[in-house]
Structure 1
Amino acid sequence: MAACGRTCPVFLLILTVFCVFLGVQGERSLQFVSLVYRHGDRSPVLAFPNDKNTEDTWPQGFGQLSQEGMRQHHNLGTFLKERYVTPGFLNASYSRYQIQVWSTDVDRTLMSAQADLSGLYPPSGDQVWNPDIAWQPIPVHTRPVGEDVLLRPMDVPCPKYSKLTEEFKLTDPELKKLEEDNKEFFQQLCTWAGWQPDADMLTTADLTFDALFCEKAHNRTLPAWATPEVYARLQKLSTFGMFALFSGKERSRLTGGTLLGAMVQNMTQAKDGTLPDNRLRLIMYSAHDTTLAALHTAMGTVNGIQPPYASCIMVELYREDSGDHTVEVWYRNDSSVPPYQLKVPGCPHPCSYQQFLNATKDAIPADRAKECQLGITDIWTIQVIAGVAAGAFIVLLIGIVVLVGCVRRYRRRDQGNYCVNVSLPWQH
């Protein structure tokens, strides 16, 4: 000890500073996750009029999760367990303080969430309540469809969105070209499938393709007219129709922007330590292909492909060695390969928390309910239209009154009346 001399205090000081530095810097660590996925394989939402696969031919009727869909989500849950439980981000056993699960109020999404959780949290230890059942009940929260602005915003009344959608249908050049290019094909489709010829093209194509897609997936015989060429054409129309729901900055804000805003708020609170419960680490949303498509549109990560069954978007917040925070967005749309990182425009890799906020801020409504209301210009336009319509109605009403008066005078042969030469078609 005596041999240490003056070097020992200096060495201890350096060691102390180094240890403090390591304590401050720490290792890169995952802080919070928000993820949203599409439900699993299902029966068709509806059948086309001439479809032989009517609702009673499907085990649970239309729009219901199949056993394959259950397997797909158990598989996704197992993947999430490997990604978040195995590294220690989440406890090995279920903790209601760490995870929160939300679903749309639809059978197939509620069941998908439960199947997913069976793979994420199979019971172990004191959570085993029945040794013959490798499953435990975990709460899944939901909101009524008409109130779910996060996961089904298109079903929540929004006058602004409705007006913008009508304008899109009337003026979008790409849609007009698509309708013109497929005019003859659509007429044939109406004959083949039994639709009315005045039906909306995109809606009709989507419903027809959905039915054929489900029937093909379940090894059912397709009608003779559903050739590979017809199938591919319907798929193109269906995909265009889906992303057309969210095209344009304003409509994107009012749909996918609401969920993106919730995710940003969650990670901000996690970063600042202001979550209602700081033990919360992951929020899971069980939803639909339209939900994922809307979120893709809001983030600017659209790849033009309909989100497949059990596809999952993961938004992850990390704390770096430096103490700064970064954000990564991952997409799992194929269970046979690892997920890949999405490139959000304006958000380089690595993307800092602030860069992510800057890149997405214009896509998030500050107050959706307020933005859904029609502005002064919109109201003025509606008032003008209403005024013109009211004026036309008054003119029509006056015309009818005059016409009736003329008829009565004519019948009395009032030769001095200015209506004497009026010719009425039903009197010929």
Structure 2
Amino acid sequence: HTLICPADDEELERIRESPEGAEVMSNNADFMRTLEQLSGKKMTDWVSVRDLLDTLTIERSRNLKIPDWALPLWGNMTRVAKYTTILNYNSALHNRLRAGLMIREILRHSDEVINGKSNVKLYMYAAHDVLIAAFTSAFGVFNQLAVPSSTAVITELHEDADGNFYIQMLFKNDTTRKPYRLEIPGCEGFRCNLKTFKAIAKPYVVEDWRQECGLEALPGGTNLFP
């Protein structure tokens, strides 16, 4: 389950009430009412439609029976759900609150390796599609498509022959092929100089996530990752 963050909830509400969000809600009000009646689930916005579509997609992938009304409405559900990626992940604040801690950790671990304080070769984290979408959006490489199950974002630290460090980012959302190399805007090709990578990441780095979210502090401080 995605962690509760009141400040992010406020940002998503601002997006819903923005001119663009209000237009989407108005244009799709009848359709969302129809979905409410058919599914029994309250449709408050495009994220609600996305959540319903996710559930149906998972059931369908496991060869479970889905309601008769679902397939005829699949195209429209996909269309409305896409506003989650078009609008929500266009918000720098939303991306910061959802991916900022992970970005901070990647930078921290990179510095530890460079400074000889760590010889760890690999860190692996399990995450929701929300974090993956926010993370890739922060670096300008999100493809604005629904994030499928078992998707992986790989961030590699490399050192070239001259002792310069760079980041290479890869994206794997298909088990039948090798990961896609991602070209981060502002970087030279698929190799992103570490200094440039840090500059791109800086606006999204969160030091005290709970404070920014408007939550009380917990024992252990701000270090929520190992």
Please tell me whether the aligned partners of residues 243 and 294 of structure 1 are also in contact (alpha carbons under 8 angstroms).
no
Deviation at 1:284, TM superposition (A): 0.3
Q: How does 1:188-199 map to 2 (within 5 A)?
A: 188-195=34-41, 199=43
Are positions 1:301 and 2:141 aligned together? Answer: yes
Q: 1:220 aligns with which of 43, 61, 64?
A: 64
Query: What is the root-mean-square deviation in Å for CA atoms of aligned residues?
Result: 2.3
Residue type of the partner of 1:219?
Answer: N
Q: Distance in 2 between matches of 1:319 and 1:209?
A: 43
- Residue pair 1:326, 1:352 contacting (<8 A) in 2 also: yes
Whole-angstrom CA distance in 2 between matches of 1:292 and 1:364? 15
1:231-310 to 2 correspondences below 5 Å: 231-241=74-84, 244-274=87-117, 278-310=118-150
SS in 1 for 2:169: strand
Distance 1:195 1:372 in 2: 27
CA gap 1:194/1:371 in 2 versus in 1, 3 angstroms: closer
Task: Identify which of 42, 45, 56 aligns with 1:201.
Answer: 45
Alignment CA distance shift 1:159-1:289 (3 Å): closer
- DSSP 3-state at the match of 2:144: coil
Instruction: Please state how far the C-alpha of 1:253 moved relative to its aligned partner.
Output: 1.3
Counterpart position of 2:183: 343
Query: Quick one: which of 17, 20, 25 aligns to 1:174?
Result: 20
Shift of 1:369: 3.9
Question: Does the 8 Å contact 2:16/2:45 carry over to 1?
Answer: no
CA contact (8 A) 2:101 2:207 kept: no
TM (normalized to structure 1)?
0.46
How far residue 266 of structure 1 moved from its aligned partner, in angstroms, is 0.8
1:397-408 map, 5 Å: none
Q: How far 1:283 sits from its partner (Å)?
A: 0.4
Counterpart amino acid of residue 285 in structure 1: Y
**What code does the residue aligned with 1:164 have?**
E
Summarize the alignment of residues 342-361 of structure 1 with structure 2, pairs less than 5 Å apart: 342-349=182-189, 350-361=191-202
Structure 2 unaligned blocks of 5 or more: 216-226
1:10-409 counterparts in 2 under 5 A?
152=2, 155-156=3-4, 158-171=5-18, 173-195=19-41, 199-228=43-72, 230-241=73-84, 244-274=87-117, 278-349=118-189, 350-373=191-214
Higher relative contact order (CA 8 A, sep 6+): 1
1:309 and 1:209 map into 2 onto residues whose CA distance is: 13
| Matched residue type, 1:362 | P
Name the TM-score, length of structure 2 as normaliser. 0.83
Q: Is the 8 A contact 2:98 2:130 kept in 1?
A: no
In the other structure, the counterpart of 1:55 is none
Number of residue pairs the alignment of both structures matches: 214
- Hey, what's the Cα distance between the residues in 2 that align with 1:251 and 1:371? 11
Give 1 or 2 for the bigger CA radius of gyration.
1
Residue equivalent to 1:418: none
Q: Is the 8 A contact 1:313 1:330 kept in 2?
A: yes
> Residue 219 of structure 2 corresponds to which residue in structure 1?
none
| C-alpha deviation, 1:246, in angstroms | 4.2
Q: Is the 8 A contact 1:347 1:359 kept in 2?
A: no
